[in-house]
Amino acid sequence: MGFAAGTTCDTAACVPAGAHLRLEGIDEALQQTLGVGSSEEVVMTRLEGGLHKDAVRFTNGREISLQSLNPGLTATMYVPLPDLGLDKLDKVEDETIGTRELIDA
């Protein structure tokens, strides 16, 4: 799966299925059609049928092929925080701190 990088579209950027992206600059027509905002978090996916299978899935469940996205749109890949294990770190900190007692000073 991939995007073209640069204004001349001469460099391809491969993006694996399941990758998390933040899309910015979604045009108004697509926003209305898909029920999304100008900036959205999406996941790369593959469509079952059709000529172009590389696609993105929005948080509302809507999917669209990369070729149907508007020109000039930017995409930034990121790793969601729960995938970094930070949710487990909070639990460990809670166990380490323990219970605190209030005292009169």
At 48-58, the pLDDT tens digits run: 877 778 999 99
pLDDT tens by residue, 38-86? 999 999 999 887 777 899 999 999 999 998 999 888 899 888 766 656 5
Secondary structure (3-state) at 18? coil
Secondary structure (3-state) at 67? helix
In this structure, how many other beta carbons lie within 10 angstroms of the beta carbon of residue 64? 19
Is the overall model pTM greater than 0.85, yes or no? Answer: no
| Cα separation, 38 vs 28, whole angstroms | 7
When computed from its CA atoms, the radius of gyration of the chain, rounded to whole angstroms, is 20
